[in-house]
Chains A and B, each alone.
Chain A
Amino acid sequence: MSVNATSVFLTDEQKILFKYISKDNLHSISVYESTGGYSSLKKAFSMKPDQIIDEVKKSGLRGRGGAGFPTGNKWGFVPYHLGKPIYLLCNADESEPGTFKDRVILEKNPHSLIEGIIVSSFATRCHKSYIYIRGEYTHAAKVVEKAIEEAYAKGYLGKNILGSGHDLDLVLHRGAGAYICGEETGLISSLEGKKGYPKLKPPFPAVSGFLGCPTVVNNVETLCAVPWIIEKGGEAYTQYGRGQSKGTKLFSISGWVNKPGTYEVEMGVPLKDFIQDLAGGMRDGAKLKAVIPGGSSTPPLTLQEVETANLDYESMTTFGTFLGSGAIIVVPEHHCILKLLEHLSEFYWDESCGQCTPCREGTGWLYKMVKKIAHGHGTPADIDSLNKTAKSMMGTTICALADAAAMPVLGFIKKFPADFQAHVDHKGCPLNQCGGSSH
Chain B
Amino acid sequence: MSEAPNQIKLTINGQEVSAKPGMTVFQAAQTAGIFIPHYCYHPDLSIAGVCRMCMCEIEKNPRLQISCNTLATEGMVVRTDSPKVTETVQSVLELHLINHPLDCPICDKAGECKLQDYYKDYGLYKSRIEYESKNHKPKVVDIGSIVLDDERCILCTRCVRFTAEVTKTHELGIFNRGDRSVLRTYDEKALRNEYTGNLADICPVGALTAKEFRFKQRVWFLDRKDSVCTQCARGCNVTVSVNPQTTKLYRVEPRRNPDVNQSWMCDTGRWNVHYVGDQTRIKSPLVSLKGQWVEETWESFFKAAGQAILAQPKKVLVGLSAYMTNEEMMDALETLSQLGVSQFTWLLDEKTVEDRQAFDGILKHHDQTPNAAGFLQIMEKTKTPWMKHEEAIKKLQAKEYDHFILLGLEGVTMPGVADLLVKTPKETAVIVHATTQVALFEKASWVLPNTSSFEKSGTVVNALGILQKLQASMPWQHISRDVHALVFGIKQGNDRTVSPTARYQTVFKRFSNEAIFPGARSDWRKMPASGVNIGVVGRAEGIKYAKR
Contact = CB atoms under 8 A, between A and B. Distances in A.
Q: Quick check: do A and B touch in the complex, using CB within 8 A?
A: yes
Given A361-B96, A362-B95, A368-B133, A354 B180 contact: yes
- B interface SS class: loop
B179 A361 contact: yes
B52 interface: yes
Contacts of B49: 200, 398
Given A202-B69, A361-B98, A365-B129, A355 B50 contact: yes
Contacts of B174: 195, 354
Interface string A198-237: 0010100000000000000000000000000000000000
A352 B178 contact: yes
Query: Which of B52, B55, B71, B154 lies at the interface centre, i.e. has the most chain A CB atoms within 10 A of its CB?
Result: B52
B155 interface: yes
Nearest to B66: A200
B50 A361 contact: no
Nearest to B70: A202
A364 B179 contact: yes
Interface in B33-62: 47-52, 55
Contacts, number: 84
Interface range for B: 20 to 34
A360 B181 contact: yes
A415 to B, nearest CB: 23
Contacts of A365: 95, 98, 129
Interface stretch (A26-34, A144-152, A389-397): A389-397
A78 interface: no
Interface string A344-375: 00000111111111101111110010001000
Contacts of A395: 63-64
B352 interface: no
Given A365-B129, A385-B128, A358 B91 contact: yes
Contacts of B47: 200
A404 B422 CA distance: 75
B98 A352 contact: no
B526 interface: no
A275 interface: no
Contacts of A393: 91, 95
A350 B181 CA distance: 11
Interface residues of A, number: 29
Given A178-B177, A395-B63, A396-B64, A357 B96 contact: yes
Contact of A364 (B52, B69, B155, B178): B178
Contacts of A202: 69, 71
A362 B133 CA distance: 13
B471 interface: no
Interface string B81-98: 000000010011011101
A382 B71 CA distance: 40
Contacts of B135: 364
Given A351-B178, A354-B177, A396-B55, A361 B64 contact: no
A392 B88 contact: yes
A233 to B, nearest CB: 36
**Which residue among A352, A358, A368 has the maximum number of chain B CB atoms within 10 Å of its CB?**
A358
B163 interface: no
Contacts of A178: 177
Given A200-B47, A385-B128, A360 B92 contact: no
A400 to B, nearest CB: 11
Contacts of A364: 99, 135, 178-179
Contacts of B96: 357, 361
A363 B179 contact: yes
B129 to A, nearest CB: 7
Contacts of A392: 88, 91-92, 94-95
Given A351-B178, A353-B178, A358 B155 contact: no
Could you say which of A178, A349, A357, A362 has the most chain B C-beta atoms within 10 Å of its C-beta? A357
A208 to B, nearest CB: 12
Nearest to B63: A395
Contacts of B52: 356-358, 396-397
A396 B88 contact: yes
A350 B180 CA distance: 9
Given A352-B179, A393-B95, 5 more contacts: A354-B174, A357-B92, A362-B95, A392-B88, A396-B52
Interface of B: 47-52, 55, 63-64, 69, 71, 88, 91-92, 94-96, 98-99, 128-129, 133, 135, 154-155, 174, 176-181
7 contacts: A202-B71, A352-B179, A361-B95, A363-B178, A364-B178, A393-B95, A398-B49
Closest 10 CB pairs of A and B: A392-B91, A354-B181, A364-B179, A361-B95, A352-B178, A200-B49, A354-B178, A354-B177, A358-B95, A355-B50
